[in-house]
Amino acid sequence: MSLTKKIFIAMALGILFGSLANIVAPLPYQSLIENIVFLGLFDLIGKIFIASLKVLVVPMVFISLTCGAASLGGHGNMGAMAGKTIGLYLMTTAIAISIALSLALLIEPGKQGGFTVQSADESSYQAVPAPPLKEVLINIFPDNPVKAMAEGNMLQVIVFAILFGIAISRSDQLGVKVLKSFESLNAVIMEMIMMLMQLAPYGVFCLLAKIFYSTGFDLIQQLLAYFLTVVTALVFHAAVIYTLLLRVLTGFSPRQFLHHLRPVLMFGFSTASSNATMPITLDTVQKKMGVKKSVAAFTIPLGATINMDGTAIMQGVATVFIAQAYQIDVGVMGYLTVILTATLASVGTAGVPGVGLITLALVLQQVGLPVEGIALIIGVDRLLDMLRTAVNLTGDSLVACVVANSEQAIDKTVFNQKSANE
């Protein structure tokens, strides 16, 4: 049985086991079972698995991106490729939030489910202020690359890796020796990833079992209209917009694209982290889709940092939901402001923890909506975060294929063939 099938089975069993345990609760010795099994063993294994994935992210991004920049630096392709990549990410984000706003205004989730303003007031949500634009631009450039790596500041790591790679490409024979060393290190990192993947089914099972046990179905039922609106927008964006862009811009088969992407989507759904899934995304894009390492090493880390299509969809629906719950008319200009703010904020708050809720707070403030309204939706945000991550990863892979095709840096034979173990 292939690893992909094992992960899929583990994901299904985890969801089923956690959901059944939640439904049949309370059980005999409920507290003991919960503390030992779900909050103890499953939580322990899940967090160790996530930590094991994350520990590889910074060295992998730095090494692979350095190799990519060194390969491109001498050809003058870096600027054009960067422009295409960032432009595509911002365009898809703007489309995503436009779809979310339109769908939410049509369905009107804030007028369903019996919500009252008091239900938000009973809870509290303290918004973390988004940094000003000047600070964002300054913080893109590292003053200490070691500190940036230690803190996991991906934008700074990306910038330093690109500069380091370009310097290697301009260092003649000495640069060639350094590049060979980095390529050897990259091979070692990929081997570590393959070792870790053998434990992936167990980590995925524990993560999902714990999440679906902890999430109460009563809350989901109360927020059903909001939940389904976000899910519908996410599915539409991934299944229609992404596949349309892939077909129009590359001519590739969307079905084949999604077929290759299955392990990435399963990991993204399980971990709810684009960074933690990055090793899998890079491996899939290169080996199954035929994207050259120089392009994949640039587009994927950058996408994991600034591509927020799934998050933008949540923000669009949440804005309409909160406006309707509070009976506040935002107006056409207000919603246009939401599109602009959310698109720019996807880059501006990329290095800040809790980016989804932070950018949502920023959006709400821009259109005069109460930030406290976030308390209404925060209960189901964890489940939606899993779906948002899967959409974000789909967007990252799409842009990698589109940019690689435009740079003639993709092997179409590899993309069109099916793996023997799938």
Cis peptide before 263 (omega within 30 of 0): no
Q: Output phi, psi for 353, to 5 deg.
A: -60, 150
pLDDT for residue 73: 59
Give pLDDT tens digits for 45-95: 888 888 887 787 788 878 877 887 787 655 556 778 888 988 999 899 989
pLDDT per residue as tens digits for the range 348-367: 555 343 456 667 877 887 78
Residue with tokens 């990055």: 278
Q: Report CA Rg, the chain.
A: 22
Residues of the chain with confidence (pLDDT) below 70? 25-29, 72-77, 112-133, 136, 215-222, 345-358, 379, 419-422
Is the pTM higher than 0.95? no
Q: For residue 36, what pLDDT is reported?
A: 85
DSSP, residue by residue, 259-317: HHHHHHHHHHHHH--HHHHHHHHHHHHHHTT-B-HHHHHHHHHHHHHH--HHHHHHHHH
Cα–Cα dist 223/216, whole Å:
11
Query: Domain segments of the chain: what residues?
Result: 3-416
Per-residue confidence (pLDDT) for residue 95, from 0 to 100: 93
In angstroms, rounded to a whole number, what is the distance separating the alpha carbons of residues 7 and 408?
Answer: 33
What integer pLDDT is reported at residue 126 of this predicted model? 52
Distance CA 119, CA 377 (A): 11
Confidence (pLDDT) at 277: 85
Place of tokens 């923000």: 315
Residues written for the chain: 422
Q: DSSP secondary-structure letter at 240?
A: I
DSSP 174: H
- CATH code of the domain made up of 3-416: 1.10.3860.10
